[in-house]
Amino acid sequence: MARLYAATGDGIARLDERNGGWAVELSLNGSGAQCLAVDPQDGDRVYAGLREHGVRRTDDGGVTWIDCALPEPGVFSIAVSAADGAVYAGTEPSRLFRSDDRGESWRELETLLDLPSQPTWSFPPRPWTSHVRWIAPSPHDGDLILVGIELGGLMRSTDGGATWADHRPGAQPDVHSLAWHPRVPGRAYEAGGGGAAFSHDAGETWQAADDGRDRHYTWSVAVDPDDPELWYVSASTGPFAAHGRGDPQARLYRRQAGEPWRALGGGLPEPLAAMPYALAVGGGRMFAGLADGEIWESRDRGDTWRPCRLQGAASTALHALAMADG
């Protein structure tokens, strides 16, 4: 049976598949959890990034949590390297931290802030600041890391964060999410505020991928673990539609080798009334987590969809979603 974890903006939801539905248990209530990362080696170990209270870790699937004492409180991104187990946390204001002992201690990767573009980083709703929106350590190389600044660019390190290359050619500067292909080294993917992009050279250079979509404000990205040419994004007509209280006019899109993007239907409302904030793919299944707390599942690479039947504790919001296996 599968397990999912979701950050709700308030706490963490653990969803266990049982009897055709999903049993939901909430923890960290009132914490402001807005991002999470599951340890690839242990599905019971999860790190939660909190809006104002740093990082928490559970080693027992959310039954208990400990404070990892991150030096900066406002966490916007978190990741665990499948290559070497390092834990990364990104904050607002933009700072990047690394832990090599499961969050027991941290060191700041300070040279990220030495990049020439740093003085220009600015988040439009709060233009006096910026934040590390996404961290993507390569699953194939523990020294290779991609970091997205909102709004500032897509940065790259090949030495574990000791030094950084500034915004990469062809990438979207308004980075929302990043992904690596788990089995094909060198293949990486981006969803950004002006569209999507991909890389064949481990994030050194990027190519735009926008043909076939009528919505270019892309938010979440995911890739099929068996096919590096098959990937997905969620998209809206713009930031106010995606994150406001009105209709986001959101859609999910799929791109295959030699083809433009195609909007996915097959049971999904068209368009979606809540923004798909998170996509998770693995084990022959794909999940889309919507801003209103709904989760949809596809078992045929997005051709058809059904809503997940959630049982137990209720959540009316979702910011991030991750699979504990697959």
Closest among 112, 42, 43 to 72, alpha carbons compared: 112
Return all residues near 213 (Cβ < 8 A) that are at least 6 apart.
195, 196, 233, 235, 253, 260, 261, 263
Is residue 43 within 8 Å of residue 28, measured between CB atoms?
no
pLDDT band at 326, cuts 50/70/90?
very low
Specify the amino acid at residue 35. Answer: C
Count of alpha carbons within 13 angstroms of residue 96, beta-carbon side = 28
Which tens digit of pLDDT belongs to each residue from 191-215?
999 999 999 999 999 999 999 999 9
Which tens digit of pLDDT belongs to each residue from 304-316?
999 999 998 878 8
Closest among 94, 101, 111 to 159, alpha carbons compared: 111
Q: What mean pLDDT, rounded, does the chain reach? A: 96
Which tens digit of pLDDT belongs to each residue from 244-263?
877 899 999 999 998 999 99
Closest among 43, 42, 33 to 73, alpha carbons compared: 33
CA pair distance 120, 81, nearest whole angstrom: 29
Global pTM?
A: 0.96
Let me know if domain 3-323 sits in CATH 3.30.70.260: no
Which tens digit of pLDDT belongs to each residue from 130-187?
999 999 999 999 999 999 999 999 999 999 999 999 999 999 999 999 999 999 999 9
Q: List C-alpha distances in Å: 31 to 3, 8, 110, 284.
A: 22, 10, 27, 33
What share of the chain in percent tops pLDDT 70?
99
Closest among 84, 94, 76 to 35, alpha carbons compared: 76
Domain ranges of the chain: 3-323
Q: What is the dihedral of CA 228, 181, 46, 68, to 10 degrees?
A: -150
Specify the amino acid at residue 54. Answer: G
Which tens digit of pLDDT belongs to each residue from 272-304?
989 999 999 999 999 999 999 999 999 999 999
CA pair distance 177, 277, nearest whole angstrom: 10
